[in-house]
């Protein structure tokens, strides 16, 4: 579904990604690991279309289309979901209203009818259980005053509702205690299917105890320097990143 070829990208003139190659098929879980500053978050942002990042070379094909041609909202409508490393607060906009607007925009873009209020409420109730989210968070403003764990849980909750084809989790494990980590991972695992794929961007191996990847890629200085199976993550945990440099 996703073919990244020799992708180069920079921010404010500084080259961060220096030729990324990545191939992802439906049903797969890919982990992108690497030390700070290796370009992990940049890759996540470039794939979701953040404007500050300039793609200077290479191509990204998504279900045969040129992904880089699409605006961020079009990518979202086509099933790309980014779970933010730092989820953004939107004061005065209730979580549930935000989510319903998002879902309906995605549905409209795909030629589906807007979901009615009753069906929507029924659906989100189920998804809330999945990520053990408190009901009270639904009517609060988007991420406003949420704890770090609540924000991350809210990202996974949104993912559960929007049912993306390609989910990118950007350091979703950072700042989570072990219980929250388990809940987030359970959510991701439950949502996994043969049709969708997940990219887990993480610094630590810890999350991969809960979300078992099919492939692990090590990113270093803007390039994938090593790829392997899940055992590569354990090796990294043991040896650190230095041996790869």
State the residues that interact with another protein by CB under 8 A. Answer: 48-52, 71-73, 75-77, 81-82, 84, 86-94, 96-103, 105-106, 109, 117, 120-121, 138-139, 141, 158, 162
- Token pair 């999350």: residue: 207
Q: Which is nearer to another protein, 97 or 210 (CB)?
A: 97
CB of 144 to another protein, least distance (A): 9
Question: Angle formed by the axes of helices 148-162 and 117-130, to 10°?
Answer: 130
Number of separate helices (H) and strands (E) present in the chain: 7, 12
Nearest to 43 by CA among 90, 103, 85: 85
Q: Which is nearer to another protein, 56 or 110 (CB)?
A: 110
CB of 136 to another protein, least distance (A): 12
Q: Which is nearer to another protein, 86 or 243 (CB)?
A: 86
The answer to whether the CB of 90 falls within 8 A of the CB of 140 is no
CB of 153 to another protein, least distance (A): 16
Alpha-carbon distance values, 131 to 106, 134, 154, 206 (Å)? 22, 9, 8, 19
Q: Coil, strand, or helix at residue 225?
A: strand
Q: Which is nearer to another protein, 155 or 173 (CB)?
A: 155
Alpha-carbon distance values, 120 to 97, 124, 125, 162, 163 (Å)? 11, 6, 9, 11, 14
Q: Which is nearer to another protein, 85 or 205 (CB)?
A: 85
Radius of gyration, CA atoms only, the chain: 18
CB of 26 to another protein, least distance (A): 21
CB of 238 to another protein, least distance (A): 35
Q: Which is nearer to another protein, 162 or 208 (CB)?
A: 162
The answer to whether the CB of 30 falls within 8 A of the CB of 215 is yes
The CA distance from 97 to 102, in Å, is: 9
Q: Which is nearer to another protein, 41 or 205 (CB)?
A: 41
CB of 159 to another protein, least distance (A): 10
CB of 195 to another protein, least distance (A): 19
Q: What is the DSSP string of 145-156?
A: T--HHHHHHHHH
């Amino acid at each position: 579904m996703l073919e990244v070829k020799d992708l180069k990208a920079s921010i404010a003139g500084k080259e961060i990604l220096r030729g990324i190659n990545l191939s992802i098929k439906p049903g797969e879980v890919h982990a992108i690991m690497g030390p700070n500053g290796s370009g992990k978050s940049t890759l996540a942002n470039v794939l979701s279309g953040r404007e500050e990042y300039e793609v200077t070379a290479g191509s990204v094909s998504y279900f045969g289309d040129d992904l880089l041609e699409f605006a961020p909202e079009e990518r979202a409508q086509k099933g790309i979901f980014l779970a933010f490393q730092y989820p953004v607060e939107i004061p005065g906009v209730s979580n549930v209203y935000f989510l319903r607007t998002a879902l309906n925009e995605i549905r409209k873009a795909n030629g589906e009818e807007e979901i009615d209020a009753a069906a929507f409420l029924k659906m989100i109730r189920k998804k809330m259980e999945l990520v053990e989210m408190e009901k009270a968070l639904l009517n609060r403003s988007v991420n406003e005053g949420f704890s770090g764990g609540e924000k991350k849980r809210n990202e996974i909750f949104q993912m559960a509702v929007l049912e993306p084809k390609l989910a990118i989790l950007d350091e979703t494990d950072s700042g989570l205690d072990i219980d929250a980590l388990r809940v987030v991972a359970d959510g991701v695992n439950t949502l996994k299917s043969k049709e969708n794929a997940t990219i887990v961007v993480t610094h630590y191996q810890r999350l991969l105890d809960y979300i078992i990847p099919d492939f692990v890629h090590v990113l270093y200085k803007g390039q994938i320097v090593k790829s392997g199976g899940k055992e590569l993550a354990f090796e990294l945990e043991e040896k650190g990143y230095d041996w790869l440099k």
